[in-house]
Amino acid sequence: MNNIPSIIQFQDAMNRRTFLRRSAAGIGAAAFASLLGESAGAAVLRSASDIAAGGKAGALGLPGLPNFVPRAKRVIFLFQAGGPSQMDTFDYKPRLEKLRGQDLPASIRMGQRLTGMTSGQKAFPVAPSIFKFAQYGQSRAWISELLPHTAKLADELCIIRSMHTEAINHDPAVTFLQTGSQIAGRPSIGSWFSYGLGSVNKDLPAYVVLISRGKGAAQPLADRDWGSGFLSTKYAGVKFESSGSPVRYLQDPSGVSRPDRRQMLDELGQLNEIRHDVMGDPEISTRIAQYELAFRMQASVPDLADISKESKSVLDLYGPDVHKPGTFAANCLLARRLAERDVRFVQLFHMGWDQHGNLPEQIRGQCNDTDQPCAGLLTDLKQRGLLEDTLVVWGGEFGRTVYSQGTLTATNYGRDHHPRCFTTWMAGGGIKPGVIGETDDYSYNIIRDPVHINDLHATILHQMGVDHTRLTYRFQGRYFRLTDVAGEVVRAAVG
């Protein structure tokens, strides 16, 4: 007989807080099987969709996934937070020099809504880039002088100049790129991969987040940008710290031995299992699994973070900042080390691309921080035979306007947010190099081969062997997916 009085069990199970918690989790709607880890070995609540699929979500993901033979095993997403200016980096517009200072024609703007920062401007003076461009690689892609290291690897890149999005301000635009929706609350892209494909390395998280910050204006990031939304919190990204221990609270307190920690976790797990039997709350099982992962990470993370055995030639690939923890360069090297260990999804957030004023100086700094590390990462992956099955993605949440925000001078200008067109590139993971899409002479509207955020997500999933229409999750009576009700694979990019 259970040692908890039945009336107490009933009251505990039916109190308001418990009811709301269970409702929020979606009773019977979450794929929480195998969250107890190897030591527990028990299944917990499964969603109707998982049961219909004939299986459960485990270390290796959902049954039936991947849907077909994948070209990539892992993803490294180099997210440039703030919105890099496409016409100062990859979208060369030489005709703009003759239009310098002229007002952007209404026929080009076509009544596009403006942000509050430029809506009060009486004029919208065209601001050509002051940076030189040259063509590189077999594709003859135009790349700015700001990116000399990236330019040398042009034949590895699939440059999409016709990306577009729907949001015009940072928070909804970042949320859209990260989750497929402008409204907060849905799982991030890395969480979908963790949920669908599971983890290969049991000693490290399936989804790792690294954050760095440049010298320019930086919009804040929210933890929900790498959160799990209505999925189990097990699938959320684990953020590594930029200084000190990469993972908070991972070390044992002074005087606590490894065997003592193991015994404590075993006993704590037993207590949590008892609680789970009473409550049926899948988050309890998630907690058990995360404790177990943290225990294993105590051994794996110090080795991961120790770059002392990296050769000088490898370190030099990433540039001088590689020795400074928390920089983009250091995070790129760490991303390669995570890829070596088969971490499924690694996302680097580099802040500081929000250049409303003094863009020339600020973008030089951002490119100086990121250009060599990006090229170094691609080179390092290729030298190790990892690039062929590692998909690397670079890009921000939107682009920048051709007109100057504020005063335009011969050497200085700023640019506002621009969702209608911007540039993203991909490399490795079976991606076909080349240039996709074209914008008008003002880099304002797309005139050929538009690629939406949903299309980008569908393509990333495709390279990982996942049909984006089939990776779904039932929540509050509806089946959700990363691409919502849209998205097409960019066939020109996948060969």
Segment 445-467, tens digit of pLDDT? 999 999 999 999 999 999 999 99
pLDDT (mean) for 180-204? 95
pLDDT of residue 416: 97
pLDDT of residue 277: 80
**Which amino acid, 102?**
Q
* Least trusted range by pLDDT, from 46-55, 91-100, 366-375: 46-55
Domains and CATH numbers, the chain: 74-250+312-494 (3.40.720)
Model confidence at 25, pLDDT cuts 50, 70, 90, reads very low
239 vs 282: which has the higher pLDDT:
239
pLDDT of residue 281: 80
Q: Please check the confidence at residue 2 and state whether its pLDDT lies above 60.
A: no
For tokens 């080179």, what's the residue?
379
362-382 confidence digits (pLDDT tens):
999 999 999 999 999 999 999
Nearest residue to 196 (alpha-carbon basis) of 29, 34, 62: 62
pLDDT (mean) for 313-341? 97
pLDDT (mean) for 310-319? 98
Model confidence at 153, pLDDT cuts 50, 70, 90, reads very high
pLDDT of residue 119: 86
242 vs 75: which has the higher pLDDT:
75
pLDDT (mean) for 485-489? 97
pLDDT of residue 54: 32
pTM, two decimal places: 0.84
pLDDT of residue 248: 64
What the block records as the tokens of 105 is 């024609």
Residues 392-428 as b/e (b if ≥16 CB within 10 A, e otherwise) read bbbbbbbbbbbbbbbebeeebbbbbbbbbbbbbbbbb
CA dihedral (236, 398, 448, 390) positive or negative = negative
